[in-house]
Structure 1
């Protein structure tokens, strides 16, 4: 049975908690959307595709790593990335293995100048942050993480 809200009843809505603005002044950005964490990136891709701004945009590599294979959703994501002029790297865990900081650095030669934008499971984000910090990326300034849990 489904409970229904009554008129005047209060509802509390939480999140998101991060500061995902995508504008930090970096000439290159690395976006990582893990599983459902791809959502804020899809929204930004759609917004970018509609903007006809002459403003210089950062070079962007978007990594989408997932366990689920939904061919139609992956096709739409690829279309959105092309429309926004963003390089898309899709990794299906069972087929391609797990995404890591090392793998990202291999695929994005200009990573030291990049900022990283991450949305996905907390432990995966913490591991990527620590990995990039160990490689000298100033993570306090250039690792942006959408918190992916209720507080």
Structure 2
């Protein structure tokens, strides 16, 4: 049987040829984070130290995602798209953990509060049982979902700024049949669970002095909220424009929060648009969030602004295309795909 090794956590496991590599990583607790498990987000991108040929050719989807991350196609692979081959494989340190400021590992957190934000989205606050917890604005945590035949891991973005080093919050939408999201929605104050992280390189560039354009859909607002609150904590004077897209009036959340942020951060402007709004109930912008780019962003902004996008692949792709058409360079467009 082929042996699959994870060099950065010093673990190895035997696997059946043809077994999905994601399941091997989970079974071995191999320390590779996953999010979409479909090759779209790039969260699991990891260098192959030995045995890359046994993983087969790079698919078009894999090549596109790795290229967008600026990773070498001769070295990196996406375990979520791979099956075990006939030979041994040694994985290196995941790309998402390569630039972490702190030592990453599993630690325990306690649920402090659970707050419904609308009919399907809830916000949870956790106390971190670790004195030196530090996250950069935009990063995420990996939650261990314990009550299954094996541990399942799911990634959720931190929605609070790094100024609070003993707590973090997430906002999660309950998905029909979604094992992780439904587990999170059942958590209540006092319960304990294991998490890993923080992970991720979708983070605010604090060294930049450029204006900021933020575009989010649904719970993609979570890392954007963390960035906004951090800018407010730092008394930033950078101009920020936020475009937030939802579907229906019943999907609205964080409206009071955004109103409060704008009141305390004079350089912040925001627009909420609903793609399937009832005109009789909604007086704000209607349409897709990408429509707001046409209205509020110009070619002149390309020279002075950088962009942070978070949401599903269609929004990311259409927003990127619109921004590139205005003259934004690839290195000024940062994004996190949720699926």
Q: Tell me, yes or no, whether TM beats 0.5.
A: yes
**Two-structure CA RMSD over aligned residues (Å):** 2.9
Q: Are residues 99 and 12 of structure 1, via their aligned partners in 2, closer, same or farther at CA, if it must alter by over 3 Å? A: closer
* Post-superposition offset of 1:60: 0.7
Aligned-partner Cα distance in 1 for 2:245–2:155? 25
- Secondary structure of residue in 2 paired with 1:94: coil
* Post-superposition offset of 1:133: 1.6
Aligned-partner Cα distance in 1 for 2:262–2:289? 19
Query: What residue number does 1:147 align with?
Result: 337
- Secondary structure of residue in 1 paired with 2:324: helix
Aligned-partner Cα distance in 1 for 2:307–2:227? 15
- 1:48 aligned onto 2:231: yes
Query: What residue number does 1:128 align with?
Result: 319
* Post-superposition offset of 1:123: 1.6
Q: Are residues 108 and 94 of structure 1, via their aligned partners in 2, closer, same or farther at CA, if it must alter by over 3 Å? A: same
Preserved CA contact (<8 Å) 1:114 1:142? yes
Query: What residue number does 1:87 align with?
Result: 269
* Post-superposition offset of 1:90: 1.1
Aligned-partner Cα distance in 1 for 2:335–2:246? 18
- 1:66 aligned onto 2:255: no
> Greater CA deviation, 68-77 or 81-90?
68-77
Q: Are residues 50 and 25 of structure 1, via their aligned partners in 2, closer, same or farther at CA, if it must alter by over 3 Å? A: closer
Preserved CA contact (<8 Å) 1:31 1:63? yes
Structure 1 unmatched runs, 5+: none
- Secondary structure of residue in 1 paired with 2:206: coil
Select the structure with the greater relative contact order (CA < 8 A; seq sep ≥ 6): 1
Q: Are residues 80 and 134 of structure 1, via their aligned partners in 2, closer, same or farther at CA, if it must alter by over 3 Å? A: same
Aligned-partner Cα distance in 1 for 2:201–2:338? 9
Q: Which has the higher helix share?
A: 1
Aligned-partner Cα distance in 2 for 1:67–1:81? 23
1:77-133 per-position Cα deviation (integer Å, ceiling 9, x unaligned): 2212332331111112234111226x3243134522211110011121011112222
What pairs up with 1:15-26 in 2 under 5 angstroms? 17-23=200-206, 25-26=208-209
Larger Rg: 2
Aligned-partner Cα distance in 1 for 2:261–2:217? 17
Q: Which runs of 4+ in 1 moved over 6 A?
A: none
- 1:28 aligned onto 2:219: no
Aligned-partner Cα distance in 1 for 2:332–2:151? 38
Aligned-partner Cα distance in 2 for 1:106–1:77? 20
* Post-superposition offset of 1:65: 0.9
- What is the TM-score when the length of structure 1 is the normalising length? 0.74
- Secondary structure of residue in 1 paired with 2:213: strand
Q: Which has the higher strand share?
A: 2
- Matched residue count: 140
Aligned-partner Cα distance in 1 for 2:212–2:315? 18
Aligned-partner Cα distance in 1 for 2:234–2:209? 19
